[in-house]
Amino acid sequence: MFTGLVCDVGDILRIEDRGGIRYGRIRTGLDVSAMKIGASIACDGCCLTVVDKEAVWFGVEMSNETLAKTTLGTWQEGTKVNLEQSLKLGDEIGGHMVSGHVDGVAILEKIMPDGEAYRLYFQVPEILERYIAPKGSVALNGISLTVNEVEGNRFVVCIIPHTWEVTNIGLCKPEDKINLEIDILARYVARMLGK
* Domains of the chain by start residue, with CATH: 8-85 (2.40.30.20), 104-192 (2.40.30.20)
Confidence of residue 77 (pLDDT cuts 50, 70, 90): very high
- CB-side exposure of 85: number of CA atoms within 13 Å? 18
pLDDT for 95 beyond 90: no
Over residues 32-59, the pLDDT tens digits come to 999 999 999 999 999 999 999 999 999 9
Confidence of residue 28 (pLDDT cuts 50, 70, 90): very high
User: DSSP states of 66-117 as a string?
Assistant: HHHHSSGGG--TT-EEEEEEPP-TT----S--B-S---EEEEEEEEEEETTE
128-132 contacts at long range (C-beta below 8 A, 24 or more positions apart): 128/103, 128/104, 128/153, 128/180, 128/182, 129/153, 130/190, 130/195, 131/103, 131/182, 131/183, 131/186, 131/187, 131/190, 132/182, 132/186
Over residues 158-185, the pLDDT tens digits come to 999 999 999 999 999 999 999 999 988 7
Q: What is the mean pLDDT of residues 117-122?
A: 98
